[in-house]
């Protein structure tokens, strides 16, 4: 969806070394202070508070409320300042029962004991089988506890202007090397035409590219974090895009989802878009005159590897202070696994569901008119199957992203390189963890 980038912005600072080990998405870290709470059903009617940023979610909640008079849900849209709003509510002891939290923000909030463990509810522990495995692995505390349900994901793919490719005699690139060659051909044929753009202020997008190349930023072992932001795999990705930038084969003056970005596509100045599943509605809704001209194909790969990456996606977390876990689990499960709810969320908010039931939705198995009636979601389904389940977000991802964006912006302006940006981000991560007394060392 078009505001997923906003939804996954990081905004809460990690704390307390005594619970810092909670931050591992898939590390063997203990569950610390977040103990399982009671799952007894409430006596009488219940009203739950649910905060999110998804367009149209009010209509989804209205459907639930119509069907469940004894468990009503009050929704609040916090898209203007998602994590600032959640952080302030936690400090004030007034967090909602449920809140939308991006996968990469979970570790930061975990270190603040922001969640409650819903594993006392058998329906919560049983929910694991209802979601794509890699999404559940992103929400676990070392495989223990249930603190959130996956909601949507952002498996990545390549959006291609078929007419421009055909005009210039280009085949769909299978690898990144082929993509670079095509970029050179396009720009040589028309200096005003670029293959794509590189947004230096979008660390989340860049992280998805790193993820595809198995460039883990963190891993947890031996009682400490190993920070690997500047790994060899990361440097390979950085060097690749640096070459495209230096050769002026990609633009660096556009922000994802901006008016300027759409204007460039409208003027036929850019031939492709490296995006996520939720982006399908961006092109459809903002470039209606280009219906039938776009195709969605697998993202170029590194050599023969079929690995893909993820950009964005969120969970619905059980927040600290929740006293209605039984009802919260019931609503959370319906919201993220019920076919009717999933279909509405996809239609209204562009969400690509994390639930396995999502692949069976009629809307996700049929051709999409805007994309020449091609079954584009088959591409995203295959992409999702090829996402590395071991990729881990660390407890200082906010620091990494901000440092990465600052250095990438300088590199795009000709000061330094993207490889330098990785080194700067790694240094910032280590310093931030040291300041918080989180055991960490530089990894390889």
Long-range pairs of 227-230 with CB within 8 A, sequence gap ≥ 24: 227/394, 227/426, 227/429, 227/430, 227/433, 227/440, 227/441, 227/442, 227/443, 228/426, 228/442, 228/443, 228/444, 229/400, 229/404, 229/422, 229/425, 229/426, 229/429, 230/419, 230/422, 230/423, 230/425, 230/426
In this prediction, residue 29 carries a pLDDT of 40
Domain count, the chain: 2
For residues 15 and 133, membership in a common domain is answered with yes
Q: Report the largest interatomic distance among the alpha carbons of the chain, rounded to a whole angstrom.
A: 71
For residues 170 and 115, membership in a common domain is answered with no
Q: Which segments of the chain have a pLDDT < 50?
A: 1-36
For residues 188 and 332, membership in a common domain is answered with no
Q: Which residues contact 44 (CB under 8 A, 6 or more apart)?
A: 70
For residues 145 and 200, membership in a common domain is answered with no
In this prediction, residue 421 carries a pLDDT of 97
For residues 112 and 25, membership in a common domain is answered with yes
In this prediction, residue 5 carries a pLDDT of 37
pTM > 0.75: yes or no: yes
Q: Flag whether 378 is in a domain.
A: no
For residues 281 and 161, membership in a common domain is answered with yes
Q: Flag whether 383 is in a domain.
A: no
In this prediction, residue 407 carries a pLDDT of 96
In this prediction, residue 3 carries a pLDDT of 39
CA atoms within 13 A on the CB side of 302: 16
Our measurement of the distance from residue 420's CA atom to the centroid of its chain's CA atoms, rounded to an integer in Å, reads: 24
Q: Flag whether 140 is in a domain.
A: yes
Alpha-carbon separation of residue 135 from 32, 42, 139, 257, 353 (angstroms)? 22, 30, 7, 25, 10
In this prediction, residue 360 carries a pLDDT of 86
Q: Flag whether 373 is in a domain.
A: no
For residues 104 and 230, membership in a common domain is answered with no
> The tokens of 422 are what?
């990785």
Q: Flag whether 81 is in a domain.
A: yes
Among 300, 333, 367, the domain-final residue is 367
Name the 3-class secondary structure at 126: helix
In sequence order, what E strands does 53-198 have? 71-77, 98-102, 148-161, 196-197
Gap between the Cα atoms of 424 and 429, Å rounded = 9
Q: For residue 101, what are the domain limits?
A: 4-154+312-367
Q: Flag whether 382 is in a domain.
A: no
In sequence order, what E strands does 162-258 have? 196-197, 218-221, 224-227, 250-251
In this prediction, residue 223 carries a pLDDT of 87
Gap between the Cα atoms of 332 and 335, Å rounded = 5
The CATH number linked to 98 is 3.40.190.10
Q: Flag whether 377 is in a domain.
A: no
For residues 217 and 302, membership in a common domain is answered with yes
Q: What are phi and psi of 355, to 5 degrees?
A: -70, 145
For residues 185 and 132, membership in a common domain is answered with no
197 class by beta-carbon count within 10 Å (0-12 exposed, 13-18 middle, 19+ buried): buried
Q: Flag whether 374 is in a domain.
A: no
In this prediction, residue 37 carries a pLDDT of 63
For residues 69 and 203, membership in a common domain is answered with no
In this prediction, residue 349 carries a pLDDT of 86
For residues 147 and 164, membership in a common domain is answered with no
For residues 33 and 77, membership in a common domain is answered with yes
Contact present, 420 and 414 (Cβ < 8 Å) = no
């Amino acid at each position: 969806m078009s505001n997923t980038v906003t939804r996954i912005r990081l905004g809460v600072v990690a704390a307390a070394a005594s619970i810092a080990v909670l931050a591992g998405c898939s590390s063997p870290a203990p569950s610390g202070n977040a103990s399982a709470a009671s799952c007894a059903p409430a006596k009488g009617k219940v009203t739950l508070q649910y905060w999110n940023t998804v367009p149209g979610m009010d209509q989804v909640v209205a459907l639930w409320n119509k069907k469940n008079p004894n468990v009503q849900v009050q929704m609040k849209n916090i898209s203007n300042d998602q994590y600032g709003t959640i952080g302030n509510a936690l400090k004030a002891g007034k967090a909602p029962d449920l809140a939308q939290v991006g996968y990469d923000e979970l570790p930061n909030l975990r270190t603040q004991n922001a969640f409650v463990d819903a594993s006392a509810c058998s329906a919560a522990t049983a929910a694991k089988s209802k979601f794509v495995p890699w999404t559940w692995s992103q929400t676990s505390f070392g495989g223990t506890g249930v603190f959130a349900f996956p909601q949507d994901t952002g498996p990545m793919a390549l959006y291609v202007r078929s007419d421009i490719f055909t005009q210039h005699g280009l085949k769909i690139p299978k690898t990144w090397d082929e993509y670079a060659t095509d970029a050179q051909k396009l720009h040589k044929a028309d200096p005003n035409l670029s293959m794509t753009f590189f947004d230096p202020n979008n660390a989340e997008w860049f992280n998805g590219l790193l993820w595809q190349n198995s460039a883990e930023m963190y891993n947890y072992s031996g009682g400490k974090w190993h920070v690997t932001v500047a790994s060899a795999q990361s440097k390979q990705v950085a060097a690749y895009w640096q070459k495209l930038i230096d050769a002026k084969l990609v633009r660096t003056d556009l922000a994802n989802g901006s008016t300027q970005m759409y204007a460039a596509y409208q003027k036929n100045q850019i031939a492709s878009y490296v995006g996520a599943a939720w982006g399908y509605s961006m092109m459809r809704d903002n470039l209606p005159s280009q219906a039938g001209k776009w195709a969605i194909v697998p993202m170029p790969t590194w050599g023969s590897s079929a690995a893909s990456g993820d950009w964005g996606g969120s969970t619905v977390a059980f927040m600290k202070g929740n006293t209605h876990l039984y009802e919260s689990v019931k609503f959370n499960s319906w919201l993220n696994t019920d076919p009717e709810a999933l279909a509405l969320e996809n239609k209204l908010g562009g969400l690509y569901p994390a639930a396995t039931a999502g692949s069976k939705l009629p809307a996700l198995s049929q051709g999409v008119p805007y994309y020449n009636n091609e079954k584009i979601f088959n591409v995203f389904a295959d992409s999702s199957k090829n996402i590395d389940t071991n990729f881990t977000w660390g407890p200082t991802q906010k620091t990494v992203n901000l440092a990465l964006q600052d250095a990438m912006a300088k590199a795009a302006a000709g000061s330094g390189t993207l490889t330098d940006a990785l080194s700067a981000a790694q240094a910032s991560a280590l310093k931030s963890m040291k300041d918080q007394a989180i055991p960490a060392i530089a990894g390889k």
